[in-house]
């Protein structure tokens, strides 16, 4: 083909030769002047990247017994509170992805969604939300009922109990005990429309205390999000039993878990602080200490940060059904 092209080119020129042989002129000139071979680029190290030893140490930390079931953000917050900064949360995720460990680190489960009304809290002890969840007992058909009352601003569990059955009488007693122990009467108590939540005993107690009652809308999927999220966290715990041996066993487990949740669990919705820290007003002090730890880390390795690091902000409001994020009107409270 090249010999035929050359003979035609000598007689007719390049353009005519290309037309007759079906070859484009670009192809012809490219064959005359082939591009030089590309040089293999050496891999470039980012100046802000962790060393291989540091990445290995972070992976070992995340896979250790203390943190093996926690999300990277939980690990980051706990290490920061202990005065240790290793890397950003996103770097922790990248290290896990490289080892094919970036999936959910806890057991998975599915739970029915609930619903959402229009309430706002700007501080602790303003809005409580409560619900009841079932826990499997020692035999099929045997259930225990965990009542849990949450402060929506701090996520602090202000009251709980585990009973053999759902009872309006026990619900009224728990709410009364919780408010007395808390020392401040909330402005609003929110719940779904279960029989205990809408019972006359509970309603009369709240009326007597001057507390506004709020209930989820029927057949709306997310009107009690704080309680639902808390129950999800509870049942995703690795040591959550498939079945409880007895009522005493259930009460013992819930007591221990709620103590952990209130005082150790770093909550993403409150700037990765513990609920107790926000509820009792020590979160700002903790945040200041986090800022010191981050500033020291920045001073040691400023090249590892795109900008000066700051600890997460503590939200100033907590909403149930924020009107700025909703399209349909909220339900009326009574």
The rounded distance, in Å, linking the Cα atoms of 313 and 271 is: 6
Closest to 161 in 3D by CA, of 29, 251, 287, 264: 251
pLDDT value for 105: 67
Q: CATH: 2.60.40.10, 3.40.50.300, 3.50.50.100, 3.30.420.10. Which one for 114-334?
A: 3.30.420.10
Q: Is 126 helix (H, G, I), strand (E, B) or coil?
A: coil
The rounded distance, in Å, linking the Cα atoms of 228 and 192 is: 11
Longest CA span, the chain: 110
pLDDT value for 141: 93
DSSP 267: B
The rounded distance, in Å, linking the Cα atoms of 309 and 297 is: 9
Closest to 215 in 3D by CA, of 119, 327, 113: 119
pLDDT value for 125: 97
Neighbours of 209 (CB within 10 A): 13
The rounded distance, in Å, linking the Cα atoms of 272 and 311 is: 9
pLDDT value for 93: 94
Q: Which two tokens stand for residue 47?
A: 């100046």
pLDDT value for 115: 40
The rounded distance, in Å, linking the Cα atoms of 327 and 318 is: 19
CA angle (266, 123, 71) in 5-degree steps: 15
Domain boundaries, the chain: 2-32, 52-98, 114-334
pLDDT value for 113: 47
Closest to 330 in 3D by CA, of 230, 228, 225, 214: 214
List the chain residues with pLDDT less than 70: 1-5, 8, 10, 105-116, 220-221, 326-334
227-275 residue pLDDT tens: 999 999 999 999 999 999 999 999 999 999 999 999 999 999 999 999 9
84-121 residue pLDDT tens: 999 999 999 999 999 988 777 666 665 454 445 789 99
């Amino acid at each position: 083909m090249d010999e035929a092209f050359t003979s035609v080119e000598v007689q007719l020129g390049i353009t005519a030769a290309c037309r007759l042989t079906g070859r484009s002129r670009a192809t012809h000139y490219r064959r005359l002047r082939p591009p030089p071979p590309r040089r293999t680029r050496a891999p470039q190290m980012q100046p802000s990247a962790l060393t291989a030893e540091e990445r290995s140490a972070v992976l070992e930390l995340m896979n250790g017994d203390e943190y093996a079931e926690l999300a990277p953000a939980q690990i980051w917050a706990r290490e920061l509170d202990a005065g240790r900064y290793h890397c950003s949360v996103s770097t922790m995720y990248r290290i896990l992805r490289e080892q094919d460990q970036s999936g959910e680190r806890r057991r998975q489960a599915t739970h029915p969604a609930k619903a959402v009304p229009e309430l706002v809290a700007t501080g602790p002890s303003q809005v409580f939300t409560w619900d009841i969840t079932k826990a499997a007992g020692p035999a099929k058909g045997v259930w225990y009922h965990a009542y849990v009352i949450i402060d929506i601003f701090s996520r602090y569990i202000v009251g709980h109990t585990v009973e053999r059955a759902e009872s309006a009488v026990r619900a009224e007693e728990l709410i009364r005990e919780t408010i007395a122990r808390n020392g401040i009467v909330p402005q609003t108590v929110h719940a779904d429309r279960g029989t205990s939540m809408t019972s006359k005993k509970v309603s009369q107690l709240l009326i007597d205390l001057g507390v506004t009652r709020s209930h989820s809308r029927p057949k709306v999927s997310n009107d009690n999000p704080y309680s639902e999220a808390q129950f999800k966290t509870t049942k995703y715990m690795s040591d959550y039993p498939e079945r409880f041996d007895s009522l005493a066993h259930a009460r013992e487990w819930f007591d221990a878990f709620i103590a952990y949740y209130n005082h150790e669990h770093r909550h993403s919705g409150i700037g990765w602080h513990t609920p107790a820290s926000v509820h009792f007003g020590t979160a700002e002090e903790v945040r200041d200490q986090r800022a010191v730890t981050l500033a020291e880390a920045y001073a040691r390795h400023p090249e590892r940060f795109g900008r000066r690091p700051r600890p997460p902000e503590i939200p100033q409001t907590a909403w149930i059904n924020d009107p700025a994020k909703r399209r349909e009107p909220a339900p009326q409270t009574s």
